[in-house]
Structure 1
Amino acid sequence: MKTTQPIPHNISYEVDEFNSRIKLMHYNKDYVEALLAHLEELAKEKDIGKVMIYANPEDVSFFEKLGFQREGEISGFFQGEPACILSRFLEDERAVQKDEQKKDQIVEMAEQADPVAERPALDSRYQLRHADKEDAEQLAELYKLVFKTYPTPIHDSEFIRQCMDQDVYFTVVTDRGQIVSSASADVFSRYQSAEITDCATHPDYRGKGMLSAIIYDLEQRMRELGIPYLFSLTRAVSTGMNMVIARRGFEYKGRLIQNSHIAGQFEDMNIWAKNLIEDSNR
C-alpha cells in the first residue's frame, strides 16, 4: 500500500513499496537537499529503486544538477500549472528502458490515429452506466482476469469501495448485467485534476469501442464536477490503450521508465494529458 507522509514546511511525499518508488509531491527549496538525502536513505532502507519529484517547471534545472533526470510532465496537474516529473534511479537496472524504438513507434501511430470526437455507439446489447459499491466484487473479478498484478490493490473489492468514497468515479459497460469493461477517474480535488485509470476490458469483448465510450463518459463527469485537467498513464507496450487515449484528444507528454508494477513486472508508462477547457473551445 502507498502512504503519504506529511512533514513540516509544506512538504509531502508518498512511499509506495509495491511499485518500489517514492514520490515527492510538495517541497520547499530551502529544505529540499536535506529532504532528498532523507528520502534516499528511506529508499535504501525499504529497498526502493526510484525517487520521483513532481516539480515546478522553473525548478527543473535545479533538480537536474542534483542528479535527477526529466521523464515528462503532467500538463495542468497543479491547478492548471504543469508538474514536471523528474526521477533518480537508485538501482542501475531500474533505469533501463527496453524496446524503446518499438514504444516510440506505438506513440507515433497513436498520435496519427483519427480522433474520436463523439462517444462511440455501442451495440444495443451493451449498457454503459456509472458503477457503485454494489459493483465492487464484479470489478475486482474483472481486474483479476485482466491484470496479473496492478499498481494499486484493485483486485480487492473492499479497496474499490474505499476508492469510491475518495473521489474515484467508475464507469462500466455491461453485457446482460455482467461488467465487461471499466475505467475510472481518480480526482485530485486539491489540484483540480484527475487521472483516467483502471482501464480494463474482458478479453472476449475487446475491439468494440467500449473503453473509448467509457472515457468519453468520464470526461463528461469531470466537466460536470468542474475538473478541467485530465491525464492518463498508459502501458508503453500497449498499442490498443495508447490508441484509445490518443484518439480521445490526449497529448503525449513523456515516458516514466519502469514506473509501475503491472502484469507481473515493472513497465514503462506513457504520460498523456488533456485540457477539457481547450477541448470545449475547439
Structure 2
Amino acid sequence: MDKSEIIGQSTIQHGPESNRVYLMHMWPSDFPEIIEKMDDLAKTNGYTKLFAKVPSRYGAAFRMSGYETEAIVPGFFNGTEDALFLVKYFDIKRRTPNAEEMDVFQNLLLSETNSEIPKLDKTHVLRLLTPEDTEEMTNVFAQVFDSYPFPIFDTEFLKKEMSEETRYFGVFQDGKLVGISSAECDDSLKNAEMTDFAVLPSQRGKKIAIHLLRTMEEHLINKGFKSFYTIARLKSPSMNKTFMNNDYRYTGTLVNNTQIAGQIESMNVWYKTV
C-alpha cells in the first residue's frame, strides 16, 4: 500500500503500487521548495510519475520545472480559483494511454446524455453511513476491488475518514448493503471529490451509482458546497457515463496514474459547479 506523509506541512502520497509521488495538499509556505523535494523523492525511489493538485497561481513554477497540465477543475478553491492537475514523467512509456480505452471513451463523449433515471424500488434504502456500518462496507469493497490506492478494506481507516471530512453513503436492499459512495469534503474550500463508488455485481443496471451521486450532491449543496469533481477510471464507461448524465464536464485524462484493481490505470477528471 502506498503511504501518505507530511513534507513540511504539505500532504504527499507515494509508493511502488502507483509508482508515483502525489502532492495531495500543498501548504503555501512549502512553495516552491516542495517541487524539488518531490523530484528528489521520485528519483530516490525510482518512481516514474509526479502528480500535483495545486491552485492555478502556482502553475508557472511547476511548468518551469517540467510539469504539464493533464486536467483542471474550475472554481475548486472556494469557487474563486481553479485547481491544476499537473504531471511530470520520468518514463516516456508511461505518458501514453491505452488506445482502445481512449477510443471507447471518445465515443462515449460523443454520445447523447440521459438525465432520466428510474426510482429505486421499495426494497432499496439510501442513507448516510456510520461507523457501525464499516464492517459491512469493507465486505462490499472487497467484492468490487482487488486492490485500491487507499486502505478502504480497513474498518479503522473508514472510521477515521468518517471522523474527519469524508461522508459515506450506502444503498441497502432488504437491510443488506449493496452499494457505496463517498464525498471527500473540504469544508473550508467548499469542494468535494465524489469517489469510492462500489456496487455489487448483482445490483448493476439499477442506476444505483447515480442515485448515490445525486444524494451526495443534495446533501452538500444544502451545506453550501460550490464545486464537485471526480477522478473516474478510464476503463469504466458506465461510471464515466454516470457523471456525464449528471451534467459533469470532462477536463482531461490522468494517464497511467493510479493503481486500482491490481494495475495502474488512467483516470478521467470530471467537475461540476453549483
Residue 142 (structure 2) aligns with: 144
Residue 89 (structure 1) aligns with: 89
SS for the counterpart of 1:161 is helix
1:193 to 191, 194, 200: 191
Call closer, same or farther: CA 1:28–1:160 in 2, change over 3 Å.
Answer: closer
Residue 252 (structure 1) aligns with: 250
Q: CA deviation at 1:61?
A: 4.6
Question: Where do 5+ consecutive residues of structure 2 fail to align?
Answer: none
Q: Deviations over 1:170-212 (max 9, x none)?
A: 1111111111111011102232210000001100110101111
1:19-168 to 2 correspondences below 5 Å: 19-24=18-23, 25-26=25-26, 32=32, 34-80=33-79, 81-99=81-99, 102-110=101-109, 112-116=111-115, 120-168=118-166
Residue 209 (structure 1) aligns with: 207
Call closer, same or farther: CA 1:230–1:4 in 2, change over 3 Å.
Answer: farther
1:2-17 to 2 correspondences below 5 Å: 2-7=3-8, 12-17=10-15
Q: CA deviation at 1:166?
A: 1.2
Q: CA deviation at 1:65?
A: 3.1
Q: Match of 1:37, as an amino acid?
A: E
Q: Match of 1:96, as an amino acid?
A: T
2:219 to 218, 221, 225: 221
Call closer, same or farther: CA 1:273–1:12 in 2, change over 3 Å.
Answer: same
Q: Match of 1:98, as an amino acid?
A: N
Q: CA deviation at 1:6?
A: 4.7
Q: Deviations over 1:233-264 (max 9, x none)?
A: 10001011001111111110111111111010
Q: CA deviation at 1:4?
A: 4.2
Q: CA deviation at 1:64?
A: 2.6
1:179-190 to 2 correspondences below 5 Å: 179-190=177-188
Q: Deviations over 1:39-98 (max 9, x none)?
A: 211122233322122344355454333211210112222222111111111233332312
Q: CA deviation at 1:157?
A: 1.6
Q: CA deviation at 1:38?
A: 2.3
SS for the counterpart of 1:38 is helix
Call closer, same or farther: CA 1:29–1:113 in 2, change over 3 Å.
Answer: farther
> Does structure 2 retain, via aligned residues, the 8 Å contact 1:13–1:22?
no
> Does structure 1 retain, via aligned residues, the 8 Å contact 2:145–2:260?
yes
The CA distance in 2 between the partners of 1:255 and 1:20, in whole Å, is: 17
Report the TM-score when normalising by structure 2.
0.89
Q: Deviations over 1:109-128 (max 9, x none)?
A: 246332426x7401222111
Residue 275 (structure 1) aligns with: 273
Call closer, same or farther: CA 1:31–1:128 in 2, change over 3 Å.
Answer: closer
Call closer, same or farther: CA 1:4–1:108 in 2, change over 3 Å.
Answer: farther
Question: Where do 5+ consecutive residues of structure 1 fail to align?
Answer: 277-282
> Does structure 2 retain, via aligned residues, the 8 Å contact 1:70–1:85?
yes
Q: Match of 1:147, as an amino acid?
A: F
Taking every aligned residue pair, what percent have the same amino acid on both sides? Answer: 27
Q: Match of 1:5, as an amino acid?
A: I
The CA distance in 1 between the partners of 2:61 and 2:178, in whole Å, is: 47
Call closer, same or farther: CA 1:191–1:120 in 2, change over 3 Å.
Answer: farther
Q: CA deviation at 1:225?
A: 1.8
> Does structure 1 retain, via aligned residues, the 8 Å contact 2:35–2:62?
no
Structure 1 stretches (4+) deviating beyond 4 angstroms? 27-31
Q: CA deviation at 1:19?
A: 2.8
Q: Match of 2:34, as an amino acid?
A: L
The CA distance in 2 between the partners of 1:150 and 1:44, in whole Å, is: 24
Q: Deviations over 1:6-61 (max 9, x none)?
A: 52xxx6241332433323343659952x4322221112223332212234435545
> Does structure 1 retain, via aligned residues, the 8 Å contact 2:129–2:168?
yes
In the alignment of these two chains, the number of paired residues is 270
| Residue 234, structure 1, aligned to residue 232, structure 2 | yes
The CA distance in 2 between the partners of 1:174 and 1:220, in whole Å, is: 19
The CA distance in 2 between the partners of 1:141 and 1:152, in whole Å, is: 15
